[in-house]
Structure 1
Amino acid sequence: MKKLLRNTLRSNWFQRAVGFLAAEYLRLVWRTNRFTYEPADVYAIVEPQMPAIFAFWHGQHFMTPFIKTKASYHAKVLISRHRDGEFNAVAAERLGIGTIRGSGDHGSAFHRKGGVGAFKEMVRALEEKYNVALTADVPKRARVAGLGIIMLARESGRPIMPFAMVTSRFIRLKNWDSTTVNLPFGRGALVGIKEINVPHDADAATMEQLRVELEATLNEATRRAYEIIGRPDEYPHG
């Protein structure tokens, strides 16, 4: 029985079915939540700086495909090669977002998890005028920004756009990243505070400084987003 269940979970048809259903559910959530944007002209600010690197926290990511509000916004998202990533990849592609498979981790498992190839593909995507979206956290260390995204900005010369996207109705899972499952029929907020630029000649000290700045900016954006929807005590980090 366990083998049958494992084979079913790994099967292509099951992963595609779950990804399809997830995409349509998220579309329902998007359409039934009334979103507030801060700043109100956030798209007018961001558009001239595209292509950009869009950064958000792991576990707060389900609504992020909907920052792509125009067909002219070409975007790709980094998704892990883990089995769970297959569901996310199918859902993202159904929502009009291209995928790059690999790890954003630049630790000891970087090569094994396809990090080198994914990094090169992200740089290439930015050169081809695609926006690139990825989580900023170090895997299994929630709300701790890694250096990978800083390295990507240095290599590509593109700005990092940290943002938070939340809804007033949600279920928060008790896992390593406190995953938020957004629910329909509520209020939502998208907050972007400032862009972060990484000089092409940034040394280790500068990169660490910018990593800390990215971490603080994402925490500030997430706290502010929950304030906007009237749930200021709901952000458990930072």
Structure 2
Amino acid sequence: MIAFLASLYMRFVFWTSCWARFRFDIPLAYLQNQKPFITCFWHSRLLLLPYAWPGKKNTFFMLISAHKDGRIISKTVKHFGIETIAGSTQRGGMGALREMVRLSKQGKTVGITPDGPRGPRFQVSEGAVMAAYFSKADLIPVTYSVKHHKVLQTWDHFFLPSPFSRGIVMWGEPIAYPKTKDQIVDVRKKLKMALDNLNQKADAQVNR
């Protein structure tokens, strides 16, 4: 019931708001060229990102925690035709990592919250970049913002959009996957900077 109500709220917010789209050509180019990539977004901006996916519904999977809140999210996004992988790239999630690599080789795309499932907030975990390393998939940041919203007092400062607003869905420039393990730290820094900058740009656009 919670998942169903959440999906209704997501649809209500999306369809009562005026939306702009920015750089959708980036993921579309990867999809058209059948080039693997991993979609990355901060945990706080998770809610409306099912609407950011430009490809076929059965080609996108989201990595979701196996905990109770993760199961709710999993049931919610399934209302949008998005499948999920139960696990984490942080806490012994080798099974989830192997599944991500398998799906990538099949031409699927996986969405990851690099600071999920429990933080620290706005910090990229090593596991997220390791997933890119093993699957040889570039990392592409994505976010959304709306003018009217609340920031909840949760660990991730969850961004709760309000209906009847003005919003934007924004993709960022791709970040090349690390070719060697020595490059992982540098890619983590690049991904954090890209996600932070993308959030700032999206927020600035809707608050003009």
Same fold (TM over 0.5): yes
SS of alignment partner, residue 78 of structure 1: strand
SS of alignment partner, residue 96 of structure 1: coil
Per-residue deviation, residues 190-230 of structure 1 (Å, max 9, x unmatched): 22221011243x133x1101100000000000000001101
**Conserved 8 A contact 1:73-1:131:** no
Q: Would you say how many aligned residue pairs link Structure 1 and Structure 2?
A: 206
- Equivalent residue in structure 1 for 2:167, among 170, 188, 199: 188
Shift in CA distance, 73/230, structure 1 to aligned 2, threshold 3 Å: farther
1:42 deviation in Å? 4.4
- Equivalent residue in structure 1 for 2:206, among 218, 229, 233: 229
- Displaced runs of 4 or more, over 6 A: none
Aligned counterparts of 1:42 and 1:188: Cα–Cα separation in 2: 19
Shift in CA distance, 226/46, structure 1 to aligned 2, threshold 3 Å: farther
- Equivalent residue in structure 2 for 1:95, among 77, 80, 98: 80
**Conserved 8 A contact 1:29-1:185:** yes
SS of alignment partner, residue 189 of structure 2: helix
Instruction: Report what 1:118 is aligned to.
Output: 96
Greater RCO (CA < 8 Å, at least 6 residues apart): 2
1:77 deviation in Å? 0.3
Instruction: Report what 1:83 is aligned to.
Output: 68
Unpaired segments of 5 or more residues in structure 1?
A: 1-16, 232-238
Instruction: Report what 2:106 is aligned to.
Output: 128
1:86 deviation in Å? 1.5
Aligned counterparts of 1:72 and 1:140: Cα–Cα separation in 2: 28
Within-5 A mapping of 1:155-174? 155-174=134-153
Within-5 A mapping of 1:64-75? 64-71=49-56, 74-75=59-60
Within-5 A mapping of 1:9-158? 17-39=1-23, 41-48=25-32, 50-71=35-56, 74-105=59-90, 110-111=91-92, 115-137=93-115, 139-158=118-137
Amino acid across the alignment from 1:130: K
Larger-gyration structure (1/2): 1
**Structure 1 stretch 82-91 or stretch 64-73: which is displaced more?**
64-73
When the two chains are superposed, the root-mean-square deviation of aligned CA atoms in Å is 1.8
- Equivalent residue in structure 1 for 2:194, among 200, 205, 217: 217
Unpaired segments of 5 or more residues in structure 2?
A: none
SS of alignment partner, residue 141 of structure 1: coil
Per-residue deviation, residues 145-185 of structure 1 (Å, max 9, x unmatched): 11112111111111111111111121211121100111211
**Conserved 8 A contact 1:142-1:177:** yes
- With the length of structure 1 as denominator, give the TM-score of the two structures: 0.80
**Conserved 8 A contact 1:160-1:196:** yes
Shift in CA distance, 40/196, structure 1 to aligned 2, threshold 3 Å: closer
- With the length of structure 2 as denominator, give the TM-score of the two structures: 0.91
Shift in CA distance, 45/73, structure 1 to aligned 2, threshold 3 Å: farther
SS of alignment partner, residue 118 of structure 1: helix
